[in-house]
Amino acid sequence: MAPPGGVLTPVAAAVSAGFPSPAADWYRGPIDLNENLILDRTSTFILNVAGDSMIGAGIFDGDQILVDRSIEPGIGDVVVAIVDGELTLKRLARSSGGWILRAENPAFRSIPLEGETEMVVWGVVTFNIHRHR
């Protein structure tokens, strides 16, 4: 059930996953999600995730990810990459043979970037939105 007026007011407080916090009633006012989740508004996009190759990174089928195209990708980043013309979501890693796009699910193969494989990192994942209900 939505609150009266249908407006949700987020609370800027930590929530304990163990014992209740004595600061639970402390309120700092509404949270601007743009301010808290987006570094560069002109370069940030929300993409829908389809597939299970990144469940080990906590990214599940149906989640939404925030992708910032202005961030320089680094080893260990979860990235959206274009591999031979197809978009994929993987972790950027190095191997003895060079770069690899690593799946975070043992049921999926990682993608070694060798030979004629063309790859461009489209953007770096900064946040994952996972629906719980």
- The pLDDT tens digits for 87-132 are 999 999 998 878 899 999 999 999 998 887 888 999 999 999 999 8
Short-list 26, 28, 30, 68, CA closest to 46:
68
Contact 102, 75 (CB under 8 A): no
Q: Which residues pair with 2 in a beta bridge?
A: none
- Domain membership of residue 84 (yes or no) is yes
Output the DSSP codes for 104-132. Answer: SSTTS--EE--TT--EEEEEEEEEEE---
Distance CA 26, CA 72 (A): 37
- Domain membership of residue 120 (yes or no) is yes
- Domain membership of residue 118 (yes or no) is yes
- Please check the confidence at residue 66 and state whether its pLDDT lies above 50: yes
Q: How confident is the model at residue 40 (pLDDT cuts 50, 70, 90)?
A: confident
- Geometric angle at alpha carbon 111, from 110 and 116, rounded to 5°: 165
Q: How confident is the model at residue 31 (pLDDT cuts 50, 70, 90)?
A: confident
Both tokens of residue 78? 């979860």
Q: What pLDDT does 72 receive?
A: 96
- The residues that are catalytic are 53, 90
Distance CA 125, CA 122 (A): 10
- Domain membership of residue 25 (yes or no) is no
Contact 20, 5 (CB under 8 A): no
Give the total number of structural domains in the chain.
Answer: 1
- Domain membership of residue 29 (yes or no) is no
Q: How confident is the model at residue 35 (pLDDT cuts 50, 70, 90)?
A: confident
CA-derived radius of gyration, the chain: 18
- Domain membership of residue 76 (yes or no) is yes
- Domain membership of residue 56 (yes or no) is yes
